[in-house]
Structure formats: structure tokens, C-alpha cells
Amino acid sequence: MEFLVASAVGVLTATGLYLVLRLRTFPVIMGMSLLTYAVNVFLFASGRLTIGAPPILQNGVETYTDPLPQALVLTAIVISFGMTAVIVMIALGAYLGSDDDHVDDPAEDDTPQAQPQEDQA
Amino acid sequence: MVSLLAFVGLMSHIPAVFAGEVITARFDWLPHLGLNFTLMLDALGFFFAFLILGIGMLIIAYARFYLAREDNMGEFFTYLLLFQGAMVGIVLSDNILLLLIFWELTSLSSFLLIGYWKHLPEGRQGARMALVVTGMGGMSMIGGMLILGQIVGSYDLSVILQNRDLIQADPLYVPALLLILMGCFTKSAQFPFHFWLPHAMAAPTPVSAYLHSATMVKAGIFLMARMWPVLSGTPEWVMIVTTAGLITMVLGALIALFKHDLKALLAFSTVSHLGLITMLLGTGTAFGAMAAVFHILNHATFKCALFMVAGIVDHETHTRDIRRLGGLRYLMPITFVIATLAALSMAGIPLLNGFLSKEMMLEETLHTTLYGTPWLVPVLATVGSLLSAAYCFRLIGHTFLGPKRDDYPSPPHDPGSGMWLPPAILVVLVVAIGVAPFLAEPFIKLVTSAVLGDAAALPEAHLKIWHGLGTPLYMSIVAVVGGLVVMALFTPLLRAWDAAPRPEAKDIFDRIIGASVALARAAIQPLHDGAFTRYGAIMALTVLAAGYYAWATGTSTPPTRAVQMPGAVPIIGWLMLVAAAVGMVLLHRNRLLSLILIAIVGLMVSIGFVFLSAPDLAMTQITVEVVTIILLLLALNFLPNRTPIESSVLRRTRDGIIALAGGVGAMGLSYFFLLREAVATPISEFHLANSYKGGGGSNVVNVILVDFRGFDTYGEVIVLGIAALLIYALTETLLSSPVRARLLNRKPDQPRSGDMHPTMMVVLTRVIMPVALMVGFYIFLRGHNEPGGGFIAGLVVSIAVVMQYMASGYNWASARQRYPYHGIIGSGVLIAGLTGIGSWFVSKPFLTSDFGYVRIPPFHKFELATAALFDLGVFLGVVGAVMLSLESFSRLARRAHMTESEHAMDIDPSRDDQPPEATAASDAGKEV
């Protein structure tokens, strides 16, 4: 079980990273989403894995899983929705504004700007 | 008024200060850093505060009449008072860290003041130069002060001042001294940092008069005087300070003589006089300190008056160029008298106060030996005085004397009393001190004793006009006569000066700045070239390297947890997740397909959460999944459907290697800690034990969210709301830009469905709506004890509403939307916040929750907790944020040629009038 979760985190991280390094906005957004999954699962797993012991208090039950990572991940999931929405909006705005969905800035010419000439006092 | 009040407040301490007491006020600010808000009022602080506030009042009165109607006075006086407050803070603070804060504040506020006339390029450049130089000095002073604090072990000035021997014996004394002096020299415009002061003259004249005669430039002097007891007296001090002062004095006077701009002349003369004061402090004797204190007072009075006069001349004649002036004594008699008295005082003419301190200075130089040559200092000082006298005479002679001219840019006359009264008051002081120096003597001696501290005894000398026929008097006579001679020979001298090559400090400064900018560019450009993918790769590699370093150098323990064997179902789930994720990499060029695949990943993750005892997480994940997919679909509506192949094989291999390394790292890390217990006992035990007793809920996750860590949740709801507002704002911007036209005329790249709002779907969603709302309500209510809560309920309700948008169309749905989403977000945040504040009324900390049980007869008894109210806030916040984001997206989708029907269904059996477009559209749909 531990290996499954760990390898799932690994696979999600690897695929997420690969997609984040692509050149167009949409795959980058997808990659960010995959990385978000990886991070969420990773955080969740920091409470260690427990099967069939949800943190709902009941009489006579003594073992519960760790509730704190769950609470943290719950808000993280909701926030990550907000984040995804914002970057999607930015990507969309950039695409609609310039008709180009490349992530990188277009290459500039490397000549540094001339120093603004200051007036002689 | 503020100045007046502060001045009166200061005056109220006169008796105590004159009795030699030290008044302190203390208020602990950041005691861990040794940074406390301690104020100390001794005679030295009083002296400077007196100058700052007293002259400040005169300046404010003067500025009131000086500024033009179109200048923004409120802004000006705000800056001025900010500056004044910071200055007073410097001279009164008893903690060197606090002093540094005020020090930087004066740099910043002076930047604002110098650049007050934003439309003038000189103003902006001068302000920038002043900020760079004084800011740099401030930096080095921070270093020096910190060293000093480390040596003594306290940042309290009063403690530091008593540890002279300790500090001077320390090996770090010289670096500390250098750093602090660097700060003082930059602030007080000492050689080689003198060049910023003349450029700061682009400021309005009241600013120049205030900052550059009486206050800011005196801050460095003040600090030298303040630190005099502990830093002075060593060979290093004498050598550095006296040399810098002497060079500044002679050089400043020389340049001042040949300046044609009245204010530039005064600026360089200020530089020169500051050099004089610095030199006096540098000699390290008690008499020198006394002369310095006396000259600070005298210089403040006559120089401030002169600046104001320059302002008057500028104001009335519209020029400050001495070459275009002359003969003003007929036209501006009052101004002429004021200017002459002040300038003669500066030249060192008897019966005026400048003469007295100049005599003392010359006397002091006679006892000062530098570089083993006893004649060096007196000779240079005499030369400096000579030049000083010469430019004073030039100021009077070329501006006011001479024949009346008829080509003034504007007909000059004396200004109103509002403008000449302030300098007149100062000139009265000039004369009073000059004629009757014994009046000022007790005060000067008191201040001097505060400067000296325990380091030296107060000198016996007295202030008087007639010192007898001593060497200083002869030196003075030489200076004055020499000054007159220079005046007589001025025209040929000026020609020689203009012909002589000389370095322009500003060019050097610009070159240095240009070089550092080029250097910074060279360092940044290769790393920061706007290629996001490169940043991503660099970042990933850095994190990996850091992780590897930690792994390679850390210690570890053997596994303590047993591996749990997975059953068949988890393995199948894992396979699906891995297949979907890997499939995304292989098939990501087909964007729609990758969207489906990521949905599978999300689904598997939520199932995993259920399996691993996290029902709340699973519910959140699956609902978020739904809204995210809707959002991405909406976005994909505009983006191209395929990603073209662009990166080379090499690049893909590189990215693949980075990704694999990252994946292996993440996997190794999670596997490692999954097999070991936490290093410290988690706080979760406390949460589990207190959730029911303290929070009144048995769903621990929910209790943590709304109670234990309620403040976090509160912040997160606000963040979500901000994100939604940001999306809204971006949409608004997009829709008001040319993009709007392109969007409206966009041709769909794929055939559209003929029936935009199919009857089946409309009917279905309307039937589902109440059910979905009910489910949301149910989830919300049970949240405290069972899986559920505000977050999940909010998402469920949002999905229910979004369904209406999708099925019935944007217009139809938003016409039936009664409350704006902004308002919903706001009310959510408000409700959550008010719930938190509510606990204040029972004097508990913010967000303390309370609960009780209520029973309305026919129902089972149920629980009411204030936390539920907080959860309601969370719920509203989430609904508002999600809906606002999705709504913004769908607003982009509206097109011009598709007039949206206000009816929910295109084909409605209950409606008689079939809109023609709808029929046509449905026909077209059939053909496609």
C-alpha cells in the first residue's frame, strides 16, 4: 500500500514536471494540475496511511487516522481550484490578446538599452 | 500647527534640560532584536530639536507664500512634516536601531521633497542621486551601528556612550568607525560624497533652506557629535575626519565662488561650512567641539536666511543666475538688508555671529597638526575662509550692488511680509548673537558638555567679540582682505576657472551607476530571459539538488512501520491512475483527450482518499474536479485544440530526465517517511481529544477547519474570493480591449450543435436543481459531525447553479440571478469575520467558538454551534468565488451574431411563437 501511494506521488510528479516544461500554456496548466495532485497526496500521506478509520468520533472506537493533514489538504484543494482558475484566465487573456499561447517571452534582441542621457547641471 | 505644538512641547522641557537632566521615555517595541522605542532628551538632542522645529516653523510659514497656486500644498506639507518628524526622531532616539530607522526615513522623505516638482528632470535626477548616495551611506551605517552594538552588547545609546575604552580597544573599532563615518559623510555631503547636495538644489527653495541648511545635512554632523565621546580622539578619527572636513571646506568654497546660480553657490558654501564643522569635530579636542556646536547654530541661522533670500529673488525676478542680476538694492531694499547681514556673517565680519565661530575655528586650527606639518591646517583653513569671504562678497556685490538693470525677466520688488519675515527673524538672531555672544554662551556650553559626555572636560574659554590681537584675528583679516582682492580680480579668475579642466562629479557618478547597471544586466540577463520553461527547469534542478544534499548529509532511522499489503482493488486503481498520467504525457497534444485523462486522475485520487479514511477530502476533491473540468472546457473553447510539436528531441529528453529525477525524488521521499513514525508527536492527538469536548463536533476535520484552525480557513476563504475577483477584473479588462471585437466576430472552429439548449437538458437540470440544493444544505448541516461542511456544500450548490447556466443559457440564468456574486463573496467573508469578532463580546480571543443543544419539540434535539455560522461564511465565500469565476469565463463565450434568446429552451412545446432563428438554427443543425 505504501509503495503504491509513494509511486503514485512519483508518477504524478514526473508527469506533472514534464508537462510544466512544455512550451504552450495548456499543457503547462495540465502539468500544474498534476503537480497539485502530487502535492496534495504527498501532504495527505504525511499523516501516514490508515485504512477504514475516518476521523469521525464514535463511541467505542479508539483508532482514528490523523485529521490534521486532511484539514490542510481540504483547503489546499479548494485554493488550488482558485489558482487554476486564475492561471487559466491569464493564459486565456494572453492568448486572446496576442493570438499566441507560448509560455516563453519572444526572444528579445540582446543589445542593452542606451543609457538615458542626463542633463549637464 | 504640528510644528508649533511640538515646539511648545519641547520648550516645556527647557528647565529640566538647563538643569542638565536627561529626559527619557521608553516603550518596548521589538525587545528580541534589542530594538526599543526609547527617546532621550539631553542638551544636544534639545539643541538640534530646537533648530529643527524652530526653523521648521519659519520654513512652513515661508513655504505657504512661496509655493505657486498650482502646487499641491497638502502633499508638500505632508512630506515636510514627515521629514521633520523623522529628523526629530533621529536627534531624540536613544536606541541606535531606532535612530537608523529614522535615518532612513529622512533619506526617503528628502527624496520625495527634492523630487517634489516632478515635471522637472533636474528634480527627479537630483532626488535620485541624493537617495542613492545617502541610501548607500545609510546601508554602511547600519553595518557600523550593528558592529558597535555587538561590541558593547546593547543597542541603547546611553549605554554605548559610556563604553569608550571598550569600543576603542576592540579590533572591530576601525571598521565600525569607517562604516559610521561613511554614513555621516554621505548625509552631510563631505568630500568625496559632496556632489549630491548641489544637485538636490532642484528642490523648491523652502526645501533647500530646510534640508540643506538646518536639518538633513546636519544629521551626519549630529551623529558625529553624538558619537564623539566614544569614537573621537583616536589617530584614525583625527586623520579621517579632519582631512575630509578640510578638503571639503576648501573645495566647496572654491567651487561656490564660481557658481552663477544663487542656490548652487549657497549649496557649495553649505558643503564648505559642513566641512568646517566636520573638521572641528575631527580635531577631537573639547574646544573644537564647542566651536563646532557654536558654528552649527550660527550656520543654521545665516544660511537658512540666505536660502530664503535666494528663494525671494528667484520668486520675484524669475531667475537665480547672478549674471542676470544686479542693482537689486534699489528695488528690494528689505531683502537687500537681510541678505547683506546674513552674507557678511557668513564671511566672518565682526559684530555678526559668523565671525565669532570663525575666530574659534581659526584658533583651534592653530593647535591642530596633520601629517606632521603644523602649518598645514591653519593655512588651508585661512584659504578656505578667504574663499568663503570672497563668495559672500560676490553674492552681495553681483546680486544687489551695481547699477540697476532693465532686463530682469520679471520686474522685481520686495515680497509680502509673509516671505521676508521668516528670514528677518533669523537675521535678528544673527545680529543678536554677534553683538552679545554672552547670551548664547550658557546654552552653547550646556550643549557642548552633552557632546563631550565623560570623555573630556568643558573648556574654560568664553564667547566674546574681542579676543585680543592674536593670530586668529590676523588670519581673519587676511581672509577678509584676501576675499576683497579676489572679488576685484574676479573676471580674469573666472576666465581661468572656465578654461581649467576639472572633473565633473556628476559625470563620474553617472558612469559608476551606468557601469553597475550594465553589470547587473550581465548577471541577470542570461538567467532571466523571459523563458518560463527555463526558469521551471532551473527551479526543479535546484530543488532536486537541495533535496539530494539533505539526503546525502542527513541521518536516518530504520523503518518502524510495517508495510500494509494492498488488495486487488487498490492495485487496479493505481494502474488506472498511472495509465492516465502517463497517457497524458504521451497524448497531451490532443487537448480534449488530456482533459478526460486528467479527470480520471482526479477521480482516482478521490477514490484513494475514501479508501484511506478521508471522506471529507474525497467529497471536496470530486466536486472541485467537476468545476475544474467545466472551467477548463470553457477555456478550451477559445484555445487551439491541439498542441503542435515544437521542442526538439534533445529538449524533450532533457525535460524527461528532469521529470524522472523529480518523480524518483518525490517517490523516494514519500516512501521513506511512510514507513516511519513522525519525528515528534503530532498535534492531532490534541485535536482528536478535544474536538467533541471543546468544539462540539465529532467530525474532527471539520472542527479543525472551523474551530482549531479557523483563522487559517478565514484567510483561505478571503484568498479564494480575491482569486475570483481577479478573474472578474481580468475578464472586464479583456472585454473592454480590442479583444472584445475579435471575440464577437469569432468563427467557431468546429460545427456547433444546432440545438443550443436542448429541452431534455433544461427540464432535467430544473428538476435536479432543488434536489442538488437540498443535498448541499444537508451536507452543510451534517458537516460538523459527519463528513461534509461549508466547503463541500458550497461546491455542490455551485455545481447546481452552473448546470442551469449550461442548460438554459447565460442570459436566462443571469436574468434570474438575484444577488451579485461579489456580494455573496463579501457577505461570506463578513459573516465569518463577524462570527469571529462575536467572541470578543464575551471577552474570548478572536474566533473562539461556542455551542449548545436546541430542541424544537417535534424534532430530534440538534446542536447549534457558532462554528456553524462561521461555516456559513465559508459556504457563501466558496459559492460566490466559484460562480464568479465560471460566470466570467462564460461571458467571454458570447458572440455577436448569435443573439441569445431569452427563453430557456429553443424549442418549447408550451410556447406558441417559435422564434425563426431558433427554427433555422435547428434545421441547420440537422444538416450538419
Structure ipTM = 0.85
Tens of pLDDT along B801-857?
A: 888 887 777 777 777 777 788 888 888 888 887 877 776 666 566 556 555 555 555
Residue type, B687: H
Whether residue A87 lies inside any domain: the answer is yes
> Which pLDDT does position B920 carry in this prediction?
47
Mutation for testing the A interface, residue in B524, B542, B617 having most A CBs under 10 Å: B617
Mutation for testing the B interface, residue in A96, A98, A117 having most B CBs under 10 Å: A96
Tens of pLDDT along A70-114?
A: 888 888 888 888 888 888 888 888 888 777 777 777 655 444 444
Q: Does position B914 have pLDDT exceeding 60, yes or no?
A: no
What integer is the mean pLDDT of A64-70? 82
Cβ of A58 under 8 Å from any chain B Cβ? yes
Q: How far is A61 from chain B (nearest CA, A)?
A: 12
Nearest by CB to residue A48, choosing from B561, B663, B699, is B561
Element holding B465 (H helix, E strand)? none
Q: Does position B654 have pLDDT exceeding 80, yes or no?
A: yes
Distance CA B172, CA B189 (A): 25
Q: How far is A35 from chain B (nearest CA, A)?
A: 10
Chain A CB contacts of B737 under 8 Å are 97
Task: Tell if the CB–CB gap between B563 and A3 is shorter than 8 Å.
Answer: yes
What integer is the mean pLDDT of B377-404? 82
Beta-carbon-side half-sphere exposure of residue B55 (alpha carbons within 13 Å): 35
- Cα-Cα-Cα-Cα torsion B5, B7, B10, B12, nearest 10 degrees, comes to -70
Q: How many domains does chain A have?
A: 1
Nearest by CB to residue B666, choosing from A42, A64, A93, is A42
Interface size A-B, in CB pairs within 8 Å, comes to: 331
Whether residue A14 lies inside any domain: the answer is yes
The C-alpha cell at B769 is: 436543481
Tens of pLDDT along B178-211?
A: 888 888 888 887 877 777 777 777 778 888 878 7
Q: What range does the domain containing A11 cover?
A: 2-51+66-98
Angle between helices B73-92 and B43-66 (to 10 degrees): 170
Q: Among B125, B336, B312, B102, which residue's Cα sits nearest to residue B223?
A: B102
At B321 the three-state DSSP class reads strand
Nearest by CB to residue A4, choosing from B566, B614, B668, is B566
Task: Tell if the CB–CB gap between A17 and B662 is shorter than 8 Å.
Answer: yes
Chain B CB contacts of A54 under 8 Å are 613-615, 787
Mutation for testing the B interface, residue in A9, A48, A74 having most B CBs under 10 Å: A74
Distance CA B624, CA B639 (A): 22
Whether residue A121 lies inside any domain: the answer is no
- A38 pLDDT band, cuts 50/70/90, is very high
Chain A CB contacts of B502 under 8 Å are none
Q: What pTM did the predictor assign?
A: 0.61
Task: Tell if the CB–CB gap between B720 and A30 is shorter than 8 Å.
Answer: no
Q: Does position A37 have pLDDT exceeding 80, yes or no?
A: yes
> Which pLDDT does position A110 carry in this prediction?
45
Q: How far is B212 from chain A (nearest CA, A)?
A: 18
DSSP β-ladder status, B862-865 and B35-41: unpaired
Chain A residues 71-110 with CB within 8 Å of chain B:
71, 73-75, 77-86, 88-93, 95-97, 101, 103-108, 110
What integer is the mean pLDDT of B678-689? 72
Give the count of beta carbons closer than 10 Å to the beta carbon of residue B896: 11
Distance CA B674, CA B663 (A): 16
Cα distances from B32 to residues B28, B280, B410, in angstroms, run 10, 38, 61
What integer is the mean pLDDT of B413-437? 80
Task: Tell if the CB–CB gap between A6 and B671 is shorter than 8 Å.
Answer: yes
What integer is the mean pLDDT of B660-674? 87
Whether residue A113 lies inside any domain: the answer is no
Mutation for testing the B interface, residue in A36, A66, A72, A78 having most B CBs under 10 Å: A78
Q: Does position B921 have pLDDT exceeding 50, yes or no?
A: no
Cβ of A61 under 8 Å from any chain B Cβ? no
> Which pLDDT does position B859 carry in this prediction?
52
Give the count of beta carbons closer than 10 Å to the beta carbon of residue B203: 26
At B403 the three-state DSSP class reads coil
Q: Considering only CA atoms, give the Rg of chain B.
A: 39
Task: Tell if the CB–CB gap between B662 and A54 is shorter than 8 Å.
Answer: no
User: Quick check: bond before B192 cis, omega within 30?
Assistant: yes
Cα distances from B231 to residues A101, B80, B192, B416, B909, in angstroms, run 63, 32, 21, 48, 97
Whether residue A11 lies inside any domain: the answer is yes
Chain B CB contacts of A80 under 8 Å are 624
CB A2 within 8 A of CB A25: no
Element holding B366 (H helix, E strand)? helix B353-366
The C-alpha cell at B103 is: 535615518
Distance CA B343, CA B310 (A): 12
Quote the mean pLDDT of chain B. Answer: 78
Whether residue A6 lies inside any domain: the answer is yes
Q: How far is A89 from chain B (nearest CA, A)?
A: 6
Whether residue A88 lies inside any domain: the answer is yes
Residue type, B890: S
> Which pLDDT does position B405 carry in this prediction?
72
- In the DSSP assignment, the letter for residue B748 is P
Mutation for testing the A interface, residue in B321, B513, B565, B584 having most A CBs under 10 Å: B584
Chain B CB contacts of A104 under 8 Å are 530-534
Tens of pLDDT along B252-288?
A: 888 888 888 888 888 888 888 888 888 888 887 888 8
- Residue of chain A minimizing CA distance to B627: A81
What integer is the mean pLDDT of B336-364? 83
Chain B CB contacts of A87 under 8 Å are none
What integer is the mean pLDDT of B55-77? 78
Q: How far is A47 from chain B (nearest CA, A)?
A: 8
Distance CA B614, CA A52 (A): 9
The C-alpha cell at B610 is: 475514501
**Which residue did the predictor score with more confidence, B175 or B441?**
B175
